[in-house]
Amino acid sequence: VDGGVFAAVDIGASSGRVILGRISTDGGPARATLDVVHRFPNAVVQSDGGLRWDFDALFAEVLTGLAAAGKAAAERGDTITSIGIDTWAVDYGLVTKGGELTAQPYSYRDERSRAAVAGVHGKLDPARLYGTTGLQFLQFNTLYQLATEPDLDGLQALLIPDLIAFMLTGQRRTEATNASTTGLFDAVAGEWASELFGPLGLPKDLFPPLIQPGETLGTLLPGIAERTGLPQDTKVVAVGSHDTASAVAAVPAEQENFAYISSGTWSLVGLELHHPVLTEASRAANFTNERGVDGTTRYLRNVGGLWLLSECQRTWADEGYRPAIGELLDAAAALPPGGPRINPDDPAFIAPDNMPDRIRAAARNTGAVLPAEPAAVVRCILDSLAAGYARTIADAERLAGVAVGVVHIVGGGSQNGLLCQLTAEATGKPVIAGPVEATALGNVLVQARAAGVATGGLPELRRIVGAGTSLRRYEPLGLISNAARN
């Protein structure tokens, strides 16, 4: 292939995949094509006294996927130029000096960090924390999780993608976009906020030094090359290792002023800016300033996501009801607008448990009665998400002083036509849906650029995404009344 072949390891909270990405020009504008060579489920597991990720199993899937990627490339006479890794943010594994993982990493859905918040805020005022890090308050931000660790002496914390990269290469680094979700990263300087570690009682060298997307981390360890069949000199290149950073890099925007919703387990709703917004009003609205590819600021909020729906599906499946997602959405779409709405950001929804019951209880707290039928519950979730998106985009525009003309929805949730249409209605803006695999595309494109295939900035990468994807457009048709908005 003319533009090179790249392997993207992309693991979300609900599933992971290893993807082979090819950049081709065929004499015309560059395009990216993706082949999913390995897909595997992911979920939190209750083990060893908490909610954790089965990291050993995930890493085994990564190796299986890389072996499959190598084979798929070889079948076409290609070799993989490099590997990039992204996963969900904030979580970490603790590794000894010798490189042993001390335990399977906790999930951010484990409740233990909630009790640590007050103690952290007693040491560092939340206003001071926000002024430095620009990070939204979420009870599971890395700094609160770290406050629950009994003993960090002699250990190093590796964020999940960095842990995978370490096990592939033996090299320890913290990728910068994901570092920005720890609560220990300076949003303006783009460096570790080293002055915060002392007051929090954290060792100064708890995290390895930063690496930027596009920089080469290293090459494969001999044992990994052997297990995957890949050449030992295959490079691992840092990408936007926070999945949301890779997804935003691949939003196929054609203009500057756009809003995005990276829609999966969470909905990450906001704007791309060139500078952080660290005002008190921004803190009050709980907007985050996470670092994007090329030093951009991802100015966004975590709005509840399709976790609300997937957890309902899990509960219904346990009860023997397992409709296809399309069937559920059709039934929900047939219901009239203006039904009950809940706050999708309620911390009561974070832990895994019976979700339909929790949604009905939340509706009851607003004085509404939500029928038990799955279609009504699904419609309530989607109406509530769409309202949350509209409110968040309006807040982001106000707080950043920007007006946007279009909303891009990327990720698994971009396939949810009802949610896309409701979002167009609630925001009063056109919605452009796709690509589904934006995260993997962002991962591949940053690697491709590092290999010299593309030379420009994010607009060029976004043109490559646009050239290779068919997008769906949803217009605000006024199907719901203005009164039902927000």
Residues that bind ligand ADP (CB under 6 A): 12-15, 264-265, 306, 309-310, 325, 411-413, 415-416
CB of 181 to ligand LRH, least distance (A): 6
Identify the three-state secondary structure at position 106.
strand
The angle that helices 374-400 and 325-333 make with each other, rounded to 10 degrees, is 80
CB closer to ligand ADP out of 3 and 352: 352
Please tell me the distance from the alpha carbon of residue 285 to that of residue 392, in angstroms, as a whole number.
9
CB closer to ligand LRH out of 272 and 425: 272
CB of 382 to ligand ADP, least distance (A): 10
Kindly state whether residue 266 participates in binding ligand LRH, applying the rule CB under 6 A: yes
Read off the tokens for 313.
């599906």
What does DSSP say about strands 406-410 and 258-263: parallel, antiparallel, or unpaired?
Answer: parallel
Task: Give catalytic residues, as residue numbers.
Answer: 243
CB-CB contact of 245 with 290 (8 Å): yes
CB closer to ligand LRH out of 67 and 351: 351
CB of 21 to ligand ADP, least distance (A): 17
39-78 footprint of ligand LRH as x/- string (CB under 6 A):
----------------------------------------
Residues of span 347-386 touching ligand LRH by CB under 6 A: none
Kindly state the helix (H) or strand (E) to which residue 258 belongs, with its residue range. Answer: strand 258-263
What b/e sequence results for 347-379 when a residue is b if at least 16 CB atoms lie within 10 Å of its CB, and e otherwise? Answer: eebbebeebbebbbebbeeeeeebeeebbbbbb
CB of 6 to ligand ADP, least distance (A): 19
Please tell me the distance from the alpha carbon of residue 412 to that of residue 422, in angstroms, as a whole number.
16
CB under 5 to 8 A by kind: which of ligand ADP, ligand LRH, none does 244 bind? Answer: ligand LRH
Kindly state the helix (H) or strand (E) to which residue 317 belongs, with its residue range. Answer: helix 307-318
CB closer to ligand ADP out of 265 and 392: 265
Please tell me the distance from the alpha carbon of residue 26 to that of residue 31, in angstroms, as a whole number.
9
CB under 5 to 8 A by kind: which of ligand ADP, ligand LRH, none does 228 bind? Answer: none
Kindly state whether residue 265 participates in binding ligand LRH, applying the rule CB under 6 A: yes
Read off the tokens for 10.
């992309």
Q: Which chain residues interact with ligand LRH by CB under 6 A? A: 12-13, 88-90, 108, 242-244, 264-266, 268, 302
